[in-house]
Structure 1
Amino acid sequence: MIEDDGEGVGDAPFARSYDSFKHMTGIALLSLGGVFAFFDGDGMRFARGQVIIILAFFMLALVTSVLMVGHLASLEVKPEPREKTARHIRGASIIVGVTMCGGLGGFTYNFMAALFK
């Protein structure tokens, strides 16, 4: 039986978290592209202030995901205590989830309002 003695994390046990943040990075990039596509189009017009808020939500999700991917990849070079890494992952997961939901909700609201104008 392997004892957990509080040593650093060097053998990448957080692979699922890495994959999750990597996929959220892609989803945030696609979401940004979708918002820019509707903002720039001639058919539906979104309010400038609302689009800036939506873009801010998606950008925060994107930046958090990219930073966590880099942090988890760096564990092979510079190990950190398991508890500290788990705390970072939990916090970043909450930030990414909340900001993606906020951005998606704002986009859906604006899309429906522009659709039924």
Structure 2
Amino acid sequence: MDSHEDHPDCRPFGKKKHILLQRPPMTFFHGIDSANMIGFLAGALTTVSFLPQIVKVLKTRDTRSLSVSMYGLFTLGVFLWLVYGWIVHSPPVIFYNALTFLLSAALLAAKIRWH
């Protein structure tokens, strides 16, 4: 009698191979796959978007319009994305969430200090 777990749809979670991992990734730029390149581009754009707000806060020290609860939750969420990137070994997720965590934590600290 065959074990129920031998059926492909009934294998434990850890033994199934994700469908996206079954095909080799397209590569360019000396071996960096296209998914990571998109990740690096997306991370660069979203991380750089913080710079104008940081510059404005540092110049004016005006944090009245910043929500401490929004930046607190956002900073925690970015930290969790950083942990996730570490777990799944995703360089763009690790790199840009580390940078975004530092930037959002700096804005949160400025809000708490200068409010």
Fold-level similarity (TM above 0.5)? no
Please tell me whether Structure 1 or Structure 2 has the larger radius of gyration of its CA atoms: 2
TM-score, scaled to structure 2: 0.41
* Greater relative CO, 1 or 2 (CA 8 Å, sep 6+): 1
